[in-house]
Amino acid sequence: MSIYICAIYLTDYEIHILKIDSNRWVGIQN
């Protein structure tokens, strides 16, 4: 479960910092 939480944290962190590339990140996520 810790990995799942870490993944969510990193994802939110990346999106929060790379707002400009948020669309591309979402594309990778999906």
Q: Is the pTM of this model over 0.85?
A: no
Which parts of the chain have pLDDT scores under 70?
1-11, 15-16, 18-30
> How far is 30 from 27, CA to CA, in rounded Å?
5
pLDDT value of position 30: 55
Compute the distance between CA of residue 4 and CA of residue 18 in angstroms, rounded to an integer: 21
Maximum alpha-carbon separation in the chain: 30
Amino acid present at 8: I
- Give the angle 19-10-27 at the CA atoms, nearest 5°: 55
Model pLDDT, residue 15 = 67
Q: Taking a C-beta distance cutoff of 8 angstroms, is the pair 7, 13 a contact? A: no
Residue 28's pLDDT is: 62
pLDDT value at residue 29: 61
